[in-house]
């Protein structure tokens, strides 16, 4: 379920776009320093969101550095780091590991087996670092797996489990706004589960894989997503954001629709702007 909680860079101000990329580079750097460098293959922009939000609500500044890397070997670029980019890197490794295991269980094959094996030690280190959170993630993923095995037709049940998973990731730290962070993470996780299912309907139908939205009409699926994302926007509005509201709004109102629009847009039709759909 990676690739949804991402920004739409073209609709960000230049300052916000640079900060977003710098935090992404910070998460990448944390993975390379503290875990196997190979784990960078699963680096995703999705985990930039909790790094930004947690840094903002706690007023935690970023340490700025100019770095080169394998992707940008010639020109130096900014990397923003702090304790929350380190945390985001941990969660990126852990969730990527379980994503590879899910692929292995769904389709088998050498590639997902090799990917899971590559991440095994690094993910185990993260679970030891955050034992309670690791247990919660595993329990939520087991609920989702059990729902798939019994062909659960109520999408709310596995979606709620993924919501609790992301709620725990956002609400892990003992902060004054912990309840609001957990609520936002729950809403976002549920929306992402539905979005992922909506995007995969055709492929899952073809491969005869579990998808609770198979049989639900296109219009109904679209309405569900709009309502779920409207709830995300409401929950985000309860967070004491100061600097990162532009990026958070961009992700929830535009970026999160990117993969959906690519799958469902008509040939040569422009991608829909969803900015006003929650009003």
Residue 267 pLDDT > 60, yes or no? no
Q: State the burial class of residue 230 (Cβ atoms within 10 Å of its Cβ: 0-12, 13-18, 19+).
A: middle
Q: How confident is the model at residue 37 (pLDDT cuts 50, 70, 90)?
A: low
Q: Would you say residue 141 has pLDDT above 70?
A: yes
Mean pLDDT in the chain?
86
CA distance 17 to 176: 28
49 near 77, Cβ under 8 Å? Answer: no
Poorest-confidence range of 45-59, 120-134, 201-215?
120-134
Domain range annotation of the chain: 9-264
Across 10-19, average pLDDT: 94
Q: Which two tokens stand for residue 226?
A: 């709009």
Distance CA 115, CA 108 (A): 12
Q: Which residue has the tokens 């847009």?
A: 265
From the CB of residue 255, how many other CB atoms can be counted at a distance below 10 Å?
Answer: 24
Yes or no: say if 91 and 169 are a contact pair by the CB < 8 Å rule: yes
- The predicted structure's pLDDT at residue 34: 61
Q: How confident is the model at residue 28 (pLDDT cuts 50, 70, 90)?
A: confident
Reply yes or no on domain 9-264 having CATH 3.50.30.30.
no
- Count the Cβ atoms, other than its own, within 10 Å of residue 61: 9
Residues contacting 179, CB < 8 A, separation 6+: 171
Q: Is the pLDDT of residue 41 over 90?
A: no
Nearest to 185 by CA among 164, 209, 207, 158: 164
Average the pLDDT over 104-111 and give the result: 63
């Amino acid at each position: 379920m990676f690739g949804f909680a991402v920004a739409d860079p073209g609709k960000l101000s230049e300052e916000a776009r640079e900060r977003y990329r710098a935090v992404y580079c910070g998460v990448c750097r944390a993975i390379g320093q503290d875990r196997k460098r190979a784990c960078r293959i699963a680096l995703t922009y999705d985990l930039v969101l909790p790094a930004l939000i947690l840094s903002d609500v706690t007023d935690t500044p970023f340490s700025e550095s100019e770095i080169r890397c394998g992707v940008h070997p010639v020109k130096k670029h900014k990397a923003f780091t702090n304790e929350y980019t380190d945390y985001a890197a941990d969660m990126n490794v852990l969730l990527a590991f379980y994503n590879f295991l899910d692929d292995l269980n769904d389709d088998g094959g050498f590639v997902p087996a090799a990917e899971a094996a590559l991440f095994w030690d690094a993910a185990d280190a993260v679970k030891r670092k955050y034992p309670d959170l690791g247990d919660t993630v595993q329990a939520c993923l087991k609920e989702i797996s059990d729902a798939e095995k019994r062909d659960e037709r109520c999408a709310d049940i596995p979606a709620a489990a993924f919501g609790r998973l992301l709620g725990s990731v956002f609400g892990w730290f003992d902060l004054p706004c912990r309840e609001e962070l957990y609520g936002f993470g729950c809403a976002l996780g549920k929306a992402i589960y539905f979005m992922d299912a909506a995007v995969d309907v055709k492929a899952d139908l073809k491969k005869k894989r579990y998808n609770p939205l198979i049989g639900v009409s296109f219009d109904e699926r679209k309405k569900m997503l709009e309502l779920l994302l409207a709830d995300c926007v409401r929950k985000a509005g309860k967070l004491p954001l100061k600097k990162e509201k532009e990026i958070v709004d961009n992700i929830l109102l535009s970026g999160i629709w990117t993969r959906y629009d690519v799958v469902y847009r008509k040939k040569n039709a422009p991608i829909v702007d969803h900015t006003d759909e929650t009003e």
